[in-house]
Amino acid sequence: MYPPTRDRIFQRDLWTCCWCGTLLQEGTATVDHLLPQKRKNHAPWRGGVPHHLVTSCAPCNRSRGSLPVAVWLRLLHLHRPRNADKLAALLLRLD
């Protein structure tokens, strides 16, 4: 992935892990694929940024692996409960 695309993803997501809410920096932010890489050509782009990619911290990215988003969110919520407002905001960002 080209650095300008990564930077746009990080800026769109305010340098925050979409899974745990950790504020990230250059070197700690990773890009997570919401859809498997083999399906990336079918994912929409919005505002010049691929919508199927989100900012993630390395621990969340590794932990999620290839789990579907719905499964990962259920597991994440069990281990790191979020209030309803934060969960709703996350789901809106992923919509």
**CA separation for the pair 32, 57 (Å, rounded):** 9
What pTM was estimated for this model as a whole?
A: 0.71
Kindly tell me if the per-residue pLDDT of 94 is higher than 90. Answer: no
**CA separation for the pair 76, 81 (Å, rounded):** 7
| 71-89 pLDDT per residue, tens | 877 777 766 656 556 666 6
Greatest Cα-to-Cα distance within the chain, rounded to the nearest angstrom: 35
| 37-62 pLDDT per residue, tens | 655 555 566 666 777 888 999 998 99
Q: Which position has the higher pLDDT, 39 or 16?
A: 16
Res 35: pLDDT:
74
